[in-house]
Structure 1
Amino acid sequence: MEEGPNFDQAMFPVMETFEINDPIPKKRTRGAFCMVVIAIHLTLLTAAATLLFVIELFRMKGERGSPGVPGPQGPPGIKGEAGE
């Protein structure tokens, strides 16, 4: 068997060198930023809607005994006339 530089050239006559020059992947900072902004916006919107709902729920619960908005008035009459 041959050994040395001649052996390498006989086995691999053409040895090409190659470089891996993959382009650096573009960072999706704009897309990620938009998604974060939308997520924060929806979270705050949901929290605000829930807070308003809870406040209104407690307000209605506290007003259980109050008379509410008066209804339409009937024609004026003399007191004690009704039911006679």
Structure 2
Amino acid sequence: MTLRLTAHTVTTETDDGAVLLSQRTGDYWQVNHTGAYALQCLLAGHTVEQVAEEFAARYDIAPAQAREDLTALTDQLRSSGLVEAD
């Protein structure tokens, strides 16, 4: 699964991570540094599995937990209409 921002979504980095804004609805999401890095990796074409493996090693967590967290993030962003998947 490859993620991309929807045509009406803009994102910007902040001191705390990043903000995604839907120019269509005015809704926005703020993600922390870890969420911003995960989103950056996913938007660059990495799979959830690849990012989960990196996060498991980097943050010393179980790979299954990393996958679950990343899937929850992507599901929420998709249901909010901020990203779409191929």
TM superposition score normalised by structure 2: 0.24
Structure number, greater radius of gyration = 1
